[in-house]
Every structure is written in structure tokens, then in C-alpha cells.
């Protein structure tokens, strides 16, 4: 008789069952490391005291950030969409008292630089103009080595500790189940994360302003974000914030315009950078420093180490110390722009770090990212290679560029006479500031980081009325894209209501939710921690430097569309073209077809672009010259009427002379009373006849120095 075998118990840990395990995200599921170790705190890295540096011992942070760094091959996980150019930096006067860095010593010296601009959230193939933070990374090729100042066009960031960076980017990236939406934050996962992260609210105010819709790279500010240190030859250290101030002023697009540009010219900002350099209109910024003496570290009502805070310029003015000029385009996009590898840990003697926990994490993350993306020898690629001599005992590895000779690759040694050896010059070599550390090993946020709303309110209070309107509209648009009602309610009542009641009420009205009563304690443990008393410390309630409600210093590089047809007044066109050229502005003659049109004098006027290929969003202003036949043709053109109406809606300058005014009437734009001379109102400039061409050009150019968003409070053309 056959013996019946007993059934084996089901295996739960064999290879097959492990392969089939799924991340079910069950309620009550415990957060663990990849080895199954339960994690008690996933929001704070391990530090030497609550305000001390992050420790290399923090295996959980290193595992989390390393995995994140390696998630994308080969393009960057963040900042994938980039454009770049070569140039130089030149200091205005010696800064010996502040720093021993070589590039800050000699006003006659030009230090070569390579600057990469980027968007953060989108992929390499996304468009240039989404609502997004812009990267502003500068690589200085100094005589002491490479210094990478890796910043953004916003002076703060979403989070206070680098351990939360993977969560932030996972939340803002396309949702993993359907890879939607691309390069956009208006979706549930992002607002779910943000609504539970009140420390992000200052950054969110900047993101929902027009700061994240720059007109061009040349018209946006840059910031180092973190508090760094400058160290002089005597070893004296001072805290510093880095600023890049654009010579052309800060200029932005509006939201409707930026969306349309994505479809009309996805390379809008990349093209602008390339073409401006090619024609000699070199982008330029001034480097500004905010210096804080070590003895004044605690004189403010915020913590200098908190990357979600600015130092208002009213408290510490920005000292402009040098200029940055971009004057050469790359020869090869991949070899230079794409292979450029930045790292905030690339510093030179005279520049050092603070204990900002976000900066501390970046010092590990960036080198790990670059090793994965372009290999362990990324520093040997031509675009990353220092211009000064370099020598060490690192050998081999992927993509090794150097044929090392000799038998020695270690230190100390005697076979190579001890070389390469330690620098005998302590001043010339890099040395970290000898800062005393005294604290327990803790995974904890400093109580001085707990105020998440004061500077968000400061930003709101600093805005002009039209800027507040745009912020309200931006939040309303984004939240209306969020499908989960609870997330929308939480963000409105727990976060916006803590910034400004007016903001919460206006957004709530637009999304159909009444905000709950303000909750000043916020919703997370760190938000509800007691905030240290700050009586007597320096603070401000508004800062003029935060508002963009200022005219630009000129119109250099701006582009004007000139709408024409046969019979156009050629003298009016020529007069304005000459006036624009004198200011460094550009113009394009737009007509129904390419080729030429006949002027009223029978001459050929070259057409730069046919009307179907010329969208209003690609220009900064529009001019409609006179000429009865031309004006009559344009008034019958749907494209021309739409062009003018859209230009009006976006707050741009509009100019018309004589019969050209008929097109403005056709577009239903309210005009000032005809006084028989040049008239300008809300950026709409008109003149009754050619005899006023000089006065007209002057008024039109002045109107082009700013946007005229006061029109938004008026009735827009139908």
C-alpha cells in the first residue's frame, strides 16, 4: 500500500514568493529601510546636535538618497531640461578682507565660467516655460580649482532637511501609475505631500508667483539658497548668502502666455539664450553678497541655517561685488551642457559650508548622482576639468581619461619622493572652519526652524496688487486640478489660512471651498514645536526687493512685432525700427505671406515671418503702422485681430499710428480720447499722424519697460 506523503507547509520566504511581493501600502504599514529595519524618523537626518552638521554615520539617509540619485539613467533625475553658455566672472574690487579665494582678489582678472540653466521637474524633452523652479548653476574655473555655485532662481527651498528631498521629487514628478502630468505640480501627489509639509509654504508663495515664469534666463535672479561661509587668509569666517542680480532686471511671463508658448515654441528660452549670445547681446548679472558676522548669527527672528528663509535686504543689504557675463555658446550640446557635472561640494579655499541640513545632504547627494550619471571620472571630462594642474592617487574606473605613468598610486610613499604630497602652504590649501561642535547625536529638527509661515506672509505682504492676483489665480488653478477633496481642504485651511486670510478666502472662493478657521500650530510635530521667543531680534513685515513691480532699466533684447500689409506707411516702419535698434531691441515685420509687401511709396518691405507662424506670445510688444490700404487689410484679418487682443490681455505694450489705430478698435481695445497728439494709457500708445513719430517712439519704448497688468482689472477685449 502506497504511503501518502504529507503536504509541505507553504513557504513564505523562498525566492519565488519574495519576487512576487508587492508594495501594498496597507493601513498601518511600518516604514522600514530596504533591509526591513523599522524607521522611527524619516523626516530628519542624523546630526551632531540640532544645529550641527549631518553625520556620515546616517545609514538611512545615505540609503534613501543613494537610491533616489540612481533612479534615472542616463538623464538627470531633476534639472534634466537644461541650457548653458560660457563666459567669465570679474570682481569689481579686491575682497581680501572677506575671502582668500583667488577669483575675489584681482579686478583685472577674468575667471572663466560655465553656467547651466534648467527646469527642475520636467524631463529632458519637456518645454522651457512650465511653472517651475529654474536652476542657476555656475562653474568657476579658478586658479585654485573648480568652484560650483549650484543654485536656483528662488532664494529658498521647499524642505529644511535633505532626507525629505526624494519624497518632494517623487511627489512632484508625474504620478507613477500613469506618468501624468509632465513638468507640472498641479496634481494630487504633490499637493498631498505639500499639504502635510508646512515648511514648504514660503517656497510655495514664490512658486505660485510669476518668479517661476521667467521671460528669459537673462531676466531672472539667481541665488545660492543656503548660508555659506567666506574665509579670509587670517582664518576669519563670516556667513554669506549669494545673489545673482540681472542687469536687464527681473522680468516674467504670465501664466496664459507661458502655456501657449509651450505649444508655439517649446525651446523659447533656450533659443533666446543662444540667439542673444550669437548677436552679441550678452546676458549679464552682478554677484551680490549678504554678509553676516559670526557674532550676529542669532540677531534675526529666523535661523540662518534654515533653507526655507531669506535674509530680507532691509536687514542685510546686498553688496554687489562683481559681474558675470555669458559671451560664448557651447560647441556641442552633449559634450558640454549635458555632461556638465555640478556639485556644491566643489569649493575653493576661501569658501566653506554652514551646517544647513539641506546643504549638508547635497554635499553627499551630488557627487553620488554624478558618479552614476557620467561615471567616477566625471571630473576629467573637458567641461568639468579644472584649468589649474591637478594630481592625486585616484586611478582606473569607468571612462578613465588619463594614462597614468609610474608605479606609485598611494600616500605616503618614498618611491615617488612622497608625491603628490600635502600642500605646505596652509593659506593656499583648503581647510574647514574650526567650528566647535557640542551636541548629542540626534535625529531632530531645531526648534528655531519651527516658524513656517512668517516669511510666507512677508512675501505676500510685499506683493503689488497684480502680483497678489496672479498668486491667487495660480493657487486656484493648481488646486482645481487636484481631484481629492480632502487634500484641497487641508491645503487651504491648514496652510494658506496661516499665510494670509485674504489669500485663503480668495482662493477658497475660486475653488468652491470655505477655509476653516486659522490653525497657527500647523499639522506636523515640528510645526507644533514651541517657537523660541524672538523679541528684540531684527525682522520686517514687507520687503521691496521681493516684488517684481518695477520697470526694467531698458528694452535691450526685447522683440517687437510690426504688423503690415500692402500699402503700409514705410516711413513709420523705418522710424520705429531705427528707434528700437538704438535701444538694442529687435523687430520682426509680420505679414500674411513670406517675401515682401509694397509700401505706400511702392517700395519693397521685407517680411521676416508670415502671420500663421507668428504668435503674439513670442513677442514683447506689437506695432501697427498707418497706411490706409494696409490698415484695411489688417482689420479684416482674424489673425491680426487675435494677435492684438492677446497682446493686450497679456499686458504688453501696443502701439499704433494713424490708420493703424483701426485695428485696435477692431480688437475692441478701449483707447484714450483723441487729443490730436501722442497718447499713452495702460501701455497702449497711439499717435494721429507720422509727424509725431519721434514722440511716439519715445512713449512706446517707455511702455515696453514693463507689463501693464492693471488692464486685468478692466474689461478685456472679447
| Segment 647-665, tens digit of pLDDT | 999 999 999 999 999 999 9
Say what the pLDDT of residue 376 is.
87
pLDDT of residue 673: 66
- Catalytic, 327? Answer no
- Under DSSP, the state recorded for 41 is -
Residue 445: its pLDDT value, please? 94
**R_g over Cα of the chain:** 29
DSSP helix/strand/coil, 509: helix
DSSP structural state of residue 439: -
Q: What is the DSSP string of 603-646?
A: -EEEESEEGGG--GGG-SEEEE---HHHHHHHHT-HHHHHHHHH
Give residue 675's pLDDT: 58
Peptide bond into 125 cis (omega under 30): no
| pLDDT exceeds cutoff 70 at 641 | yes
- Is 79 a residue of the active site? yes
Does residue 14 have a pLDDT over 50?
no
* Catalytic residue (one of 44, 60, 79, 708): 79
pLDDT at 357 > cutoff 60: yes
Contact 654, 679 (CB under 8 A): no
Q: How many other C-beta atoms can be found within 10 angstroms of the C-beta atom of residue 186? A: 16
Long-range contacts of 166-169, Cβ-Cβ distance < 8 Å, separation of 24 or more:
166/64, 166/65, 166/67, 166/68, 167/193, 168/193, 168/197, 168/200, 169/68, 169/77, 169/78, 169/121
What share of the chain in percent tops pLDDT 90? 74
Please identify which of the residues 44, 60, 152, 232 carries the catalytic annotation: 152
Q: What is the mean pLDDT of the chain?
A: 90
Do the beta carbons of residue 135 and residue 264 sit within 8 Å? Answer: no
Residue-wise pLDDT tens digits, 590-610: 999 999 999 999 999 999 999
**653-657/621-624 β-pairing:** parallel
Inter-residue contact 648 to 681 (CB < 8 Å): no
Cell (9 digits) for 105: 582678489
**400-435 pLDDT per residue, tens:** 888 989 998 888 889 989 888 888 887 888 888 988
Helices (H), 484-525: 485-490, 497-499, 501-511
How do residues 522-561 score in pLDDT, each as one tens digit?
A: 444 444 444 444 546 778 999 999 999 999 999 999 999 9
- Cis check for the bond before 181: say yes or no (omega within 30 of 0): yes
What does each C-alpha distance from 600 to 524, 567, 658 come to in angstroms? Answer: 71, 4, 14
Which residue ranges form the domains of the chain, and what is each CATH number?
A: 47-380 (2.40.180.10), 559-713 (3.40.50.880)
Give the DSSP per-residue string, 641-700. HHHHHHHHHTT-EEEEEGGGHHHHHHTT-------SS-EEETTEEEESSGGGHHHHHHHH
Q: Residues 34-59: what's their mean pLDDT?
A: 86
pLDDT digits (tens, 9 = 90+) for 96-139: 999 999 999 999 999 999 999 999 999 999 999 999 999 999 99
Q: Which residues pair with 686 in a beta bridge?
A: 656, 679
Please, which pLDDT band fits residue 674 given cuts at 50, 70 and 90?
low
Distance CA 137, CA 367 (A): 15
C-alpha cell, 434: 574650526
Cα 146 to the center of its chain, rounded Å: 23
Amino acid at each position: 500500500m502506497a504511503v501518502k506523503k504529507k503536504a509541505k507547509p507553504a513557504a513564505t520566504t523562498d525566492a519565488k514568493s519574495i519576487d512576487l511581493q508587492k508594495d501594498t501600502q496597507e493601513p498601518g504599514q511600518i516604514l522600514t529601510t530596504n533591509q526591513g529595519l523599522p524607521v522611527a524618523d524619516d523626516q530628519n537626518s542624523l546630526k551632531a546636535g540640532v544645529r550641527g552638521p549631518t553625520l556620515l554615520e546616517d545609514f538611512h539617509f545615505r540609503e534613501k538618497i543613494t537610491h533616489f540619485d540612481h533612479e534615472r539613467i542616463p538623464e538627470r533625475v531633476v534639472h534634466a531640461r537644461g541650457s548653458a553658455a560660457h563666459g567669465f566672472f570679474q570682481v569689481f574690487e579686491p575682497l581680501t578682507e572677506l575671502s582668500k579665494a583667488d577669483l575675489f582678489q584681482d579686478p583685472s582678472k577674468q575667471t572663466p565660467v560655465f553656467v547651466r540653466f534648467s527646469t527642475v521637474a520636467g524631463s529632458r524633452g519637456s518645454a522651457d516655460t512650465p511653472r517651475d523652479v529654474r536652476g542657476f548653476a555656475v562653474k568657476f574655473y579658478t586658479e585654485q580649482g573648480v568652484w560650483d555655485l549650484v543654485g536656483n532662481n528662488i532664494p529658498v527651498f521647499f524642505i529644511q532637511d535633505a532626507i525629505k528631498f526624494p519624497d518632494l521629487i517623487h511627489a512632484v514628478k508625474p504620478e507613477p501609475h500613469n506618468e501624468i502630468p509632465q513638468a507640472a505640480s498641479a496634481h494630487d501627489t504633490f499637493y498631498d505631500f505639500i499639504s502635510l509639509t508646512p515648511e514648504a509654504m514660503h517656497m510655495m508663495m514664490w512658486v505660485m508667483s510669476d518668479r517661476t515664469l521667467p521671460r528669459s534666463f537673462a531676466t531672472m535672479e539667481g541665488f545660492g539658497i543656503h548660508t555659506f561661509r567666506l574665509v579670509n587668509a587670517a582664518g576669519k569666517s563670516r556667513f554669506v548668502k549669494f545673489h545673482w542680480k540681472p542687469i536687464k532686471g527681473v522680468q516674467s511671463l504670465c501664466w496664459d502666455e507661458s502655456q501657449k508658448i509651450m505649444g508655439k515654441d517649446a525651446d523659447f528660452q533656450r533659443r533666446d539664450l543662444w540667439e542673444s549670445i550669437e548677436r552679441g547681446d550678452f546676458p549679464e548679472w552682478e554677484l551680490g553678497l549678504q554678509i553676516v558676522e559670526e557674532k550676529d548669527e542669532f540677531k534675526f527672528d529666523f535661523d540662518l541655517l534654515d533653507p526655507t528663509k531669506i535674509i530680507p535686504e532691509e536687514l542685510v543689504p546686498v553688496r554687489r561685488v562683481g559681474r558675470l557675463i555669458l559671451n560664448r555658446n557651447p560647441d556641442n550640446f552633449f559634450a558640454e551642457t549635458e555632461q556638465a557635472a555640478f556639485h556644491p561640494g566643489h569649493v575653493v579655499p576661501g569658501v566653506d559650508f554652514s551646517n544647513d541640513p539641506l546643504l549638508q545632504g547635497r554635499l553627499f547627494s551630488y557627487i553620488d548622482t554624478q558618479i552614476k550619471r557620467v561615471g567616477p571620472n566625471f571630473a576629467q571630462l573637458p567641461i568639468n576639468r579644472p584649468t589649474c594642474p591637478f594630481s592625486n592617487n585616484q586611478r582606473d574606473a569607468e571612462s578613465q581619461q588619463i594614462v597614468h605613468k609610474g608605479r606609485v598610486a598611494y600616500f605616503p610613499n618614498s618611491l615617488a619622493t612622497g608625491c603628490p604630497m600635502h600642500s605646505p602652504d596652509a593659506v593656499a590649501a583648503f581647510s574647514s572652519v574650526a567650528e566647535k561642535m557640542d551636541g548629542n547625536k540626534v535625529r531632530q529638527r531645531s526648534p528655531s526652524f519651527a516658524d513656517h509661515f512668517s516669511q510666507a506672509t512677508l512675501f505676500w505682504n510685499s506683493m503689488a496688487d497684480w502680483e497678489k492676483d496672479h498668486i491667487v489665480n495660480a493657487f486656484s488653478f493648481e488646486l482645481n486640478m487636484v481631484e481629492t477633496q480632502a487634500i484641497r481642504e487641508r491645503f487651504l485651511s491648514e496652510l494658506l489660512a496661516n499665510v494670509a486670510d485674504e489669500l485663503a478666502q480668495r482662493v477658497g472662493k475660486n475653488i468652491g471651498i470655505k477655509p476653516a478657521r486659522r490653525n497657527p500650530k500647523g499639522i506636523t510635530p515640528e510645526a507644533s514645536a514651541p517657537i523660541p521667543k524672538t523679541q528684540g531680534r531684527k525682522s520686517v513685515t514687507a520687503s521691496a526687493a521681493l516684488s517684481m513691480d518695477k520697470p526694467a532699466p531698458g528694452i535691450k533684447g526685447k522683440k517687437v512685432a510690426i504688423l503690415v500689409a500692402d500699402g503700409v506707411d514705410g516711413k513709420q516702419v523705418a522710424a520705429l525700427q531705427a528707434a528700437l535698434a538704438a535701444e538694442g531691441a529687435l523687430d520682426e515685420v509680420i505679414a500674411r505671406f513670406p517675401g515682401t509687401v509694397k509700401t505706400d511709396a511702392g517700395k519693397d518691405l521685407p517680411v521676416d515671418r508670415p502671420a500663421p507662424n507668428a504668435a503674439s506670445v513670442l513677442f514683447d510688444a506689437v506695432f501697427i503702422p498707418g497706411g490706409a490700404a494696409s490698415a484695411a487689410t489688417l482689420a479684416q484679418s482674424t489673425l491680426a485681430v487675435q494677435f492684438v487682443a492677446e497682446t493686450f490681455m497679456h499686458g504688453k505694450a501696443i502701439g499704433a499710428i494713424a490708420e493703424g489705430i483701426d485695428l485696435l478698435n477692431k480688437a475692441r481695445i478701449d483707447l484714450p480720447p483723441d487729443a490730436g497728439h501722442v497718447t499713452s494709457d495702460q501701455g497702449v500708445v497711439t499717435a494721429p499722424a507720422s509727424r509725431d513719430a519721434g514722440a511716439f517712439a519715445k512713449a512706446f519704448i517707455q511702455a515696453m519697460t514693463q507689463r501693464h497688468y492693471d488692464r486685468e482689472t478692466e474689461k478685456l477685449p472679447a
